Every structure is written in C-alpha cells, then in structure tokens.
Amino acid sequence: MDSQTSLEEIKKNISFPFRGSSWGPKALIGSALSLGNFIFPLLPLIPLLGYAAQVMKQILRSDQEPSLPEWSDWNAILVDGLKVLGVQMLYGLPGGLLYAAAMLLFMAPAFVMPLLTVFSSSQVQALSLFPLMPIAMILAMILMLLGTLAMLGAMVLIPPSLGHMVAKNEFSAAFRVREWWPVFKANLVGFSLTIVLLMGLSVCATFVVQILYFTLILCVLIPFALSFLSYIHAVLSLALYAIAYRDGTRNLAEIALQQQAA
C-alpha cells in the first residue's frame, strides 16, 4: 500500500462520524449524553460507550467500513457500554490507585502535622517528625511516576483488549492477554499509530476549547463543544481500535500462511 493510499484511508477512517445523511441527529444524541455526563457523572457515559461499541461490532464481526449505526437497540447499547467501561476501569485501576496513594502522601503533612502539634504531649515531639515530610514527598513523587507509567501501559493495552472482547463477544476475553497479544504484535505499528493519532486529535481538540475559553462571547459554548468532542472521541477511538485489531488478525493470518508455505 503506497503512502497516498494510506493517507486516503486515514482520512476516510477519521471522517466517518461526519458521513451519512443522518450523522447530525446521531451526533446530537451522543453529544446530549456526553453533556449529561457533566451533570450525572458516569451514568450517561455508559450508553455513549455502548454506541461506540456498536461501531466496533460492525467492523470486527461484519467486516464493514466504519459507519454510524442507529440509536435503536438500547439494551445492547447499555450492556456493551458497561463492558467497555468495565475494561477501561479495570485496566486503569492500578494507575488510579497509585495516583490516589501519591495524593494522600502529598496531602498528609498538611493534615497530620497540625494534629500532632495539638494532641502530642510535647511540641518538640511533634516537631521531631518534620524530617519525615521530605521522605513522604519523595515517596509521593515515586508513586506518581509509577502511576503515570501504569496509565501509559493501560493506554497501550486497552485497544487490543477491547478489540478482542468485541470480536469474541466475551467480557473475559479482554483479559486473556495470551490470546490477543499475538494480534497486537502482528500490527504493532498500526496500534501505535492509532494511539499517537488519537493523542494528536485530543491536543487539537484541547486547543479549540482553549480558543473558546479566551473568547468572552464564545466561552458559553465550551460545555457544548466539550460534549460534541467527547462523543466524536468515543466513536472515533473505538472505531480505530477495531480497525487496528482487524488488521492485526489479517497480518497474523498472513504470517501463518507464509509459515505453512515455507
């Protein structure tokens, strides 16, 4: 595949949320759910992720090009949304716990030292614990670094795990690493480009929101812009995950054929 074809393929995959005669109403529903997430956190996120999972199903099970399904099968949308959210939360749990521990260590001196000063029998005894504060800060920074590494690891592992879960139609399939790891390795470049592309698009979206923020008249549009961008990010990211997983399975099949022929 030459570079021009690859560029056209990328453009087609990125622009699919804006194709079709009814993309506007579908985007309106998704944006409304995303806006509701600012009011009732997490709950509206479930159908939004479930809708994005329907896009993955079309790509992985029906071998279709990415397109927007109808907002019709709400039962499947809710079930799939819970599955996607569960995978994301479980893979992100180690990093979240490390961040939480780091924040507790960062805040501990501000709460503990005044209490020790008040309740200890001697202020000298309380002040003797002050040398422990730098140690707590160092531990907090180490935990923060480990948490960042864990989050980066989750960012890498979530795309193939979600692809495998949808392809196998089993929640547990997302955690059977030995099954999807060969697919991930077979299209390592594709998965890497997907992650980098989504990060770049997120930076661009942040830049757009910043422009609105510094515009006094248009700043009222920020919640609506964020809602729309969150909807686009959800459907686009899961679609690109599915494409990377599909290409990985194809590459793996080609490798197996080559080995058989040899």
In this prediction the pTM is 0.86
Judging by beta carbons within 10 Å of its beta carbon (0-12, 13-18, 19+), is residue 6 exposed, middle or buried?
exposed
Tens digits of residue pLDDT in 175-189: 999 999 999 999 999
- Find the mean pLDDT for residues 191-211: 89
Tens-digit pLDDT profile for residues 154-176: 999 999 999 999 999 999 999 99
pLDDT at 121 over 80: no
The stretch 42-61 carries a mean pLDDT of 93
- Choose between 180 and 219: higher pLDDT: 180
What's the pLDDT at 3? 39
